[in-house]
Amino acid sequence: MSADWQVAWEVMKWPFVACLLFPPLLVYLGLHVVKREVIFVDLALAQVATLGTCVALLMGYHFDDRITFWISLVVTFLGAAFFSWSRTTRKAAVPQEAIIGITFVVAAAGVILLLSRVAGGKEELEHLLTGDILNVTKGEIGQRMLVFAALGAFYAVFHGRFVLISSDPEEAFAGGVRVRLWDFLFYSAVSFVRLGGVLLTFSYLIVPAVCGTMLAEDWIKRLAIGWGVAATASLLGLWASYQMDLPTGAAIVVASGLLLAIVGVFSAARGRRMSMA
């Protein structure tokens, strides 16, 4: 291995591992988000979590303090509870996506207001948006893997119930399923899987899931396609970040968008061929 490649590997090895290990769960959650048509729920919960972080900063705590994490988590759980409560058993005059969008806007405005009172607020906001995946450590990956493994096992056990709620909530309500409780657990899990900032996590959650939905009907096939898209976008983004000295998270997000465009063109062309056959 050449010296240049050795340097590149030392810089990128843990971000590379993170970008390959974490997306499978994110893609799975993203498939449910797309099926439920609550696309911006992750962004809204991320902004709610950021609002909690800003409250902690305003109280004098540092971004990396443990108490900051707990304050943010409690505020996020309140947001998850609110979204679960807003679920209705019938077609509502105001769709839940509108409630989610309003929450996102109000939380984002609150973040801006609070950070205007915090020294270095602009830098903190940039960090919250883009994250710092390039500096992820082996220890952080190990801790996150334990959380993701627990969540993965939970979703494997209750996959059928979550699929029913995502695909046919009316039947779930009629069957006596406590939909709002399961919604709370789902939204809470979405809040736990934040990785590398708001934008990167949203990209991993939604873009691969949309690609999988475009190309397949089966959940397993969609998950496999989504993971492939996420892994490819990660490799492209990491390579571009290292070669051109670009922000890593933003490079991966842009790579994801380009892959989505390619999949969209391919899906449209395939649809035209099938309609002509």
Question: Which positions of the chain have pLDDT values less than 50?
Answer: none
> How far apart are alpha carbons 192 and 200 in whole angstroms?
14
The answer to whether 183 touches 32, Cβ cutoff 8 Å, is no
The closest of 234, 239, 250, 255 to 8, measured between CA atoms, is 239
The answer to whether 102 touches 79, Cβ cutoff 8 Å, is no
Quote the pLDDT of residue 127.
Answer: 64
User: What global pTM score does this model have?
Assistant: 0.81
Quote the pLDDT of residue 247.
Answer: 82
Joined tokens for residue 203: 């990209």
Length of the chain: 277
> How far apart are alpha carbons 64 and 56 in whole angstroms?
11
> How far apart are alpha carbons 230 and 222 in whole angstroms?
12
> How far apart are alpha carbons 120 and 268 in whole angstroms?
46
Task: State the CATH number of the domain containing residue 72.
Answer: 1.10.3470.10
If one counts the domains in the chain, the total is 1
Range of the domain at 82: 3-276
Quote the pLDDT of residue 130.
Answer: 61
Quote the pLDDT of residue 96.
Answer: 79
Quote the pLDDT of residue 88.
Answer: 65
Residue with tokens 């939204």: 187
The answer to whether 134 touches 241, Cβ cutoff 8 Å, is yes
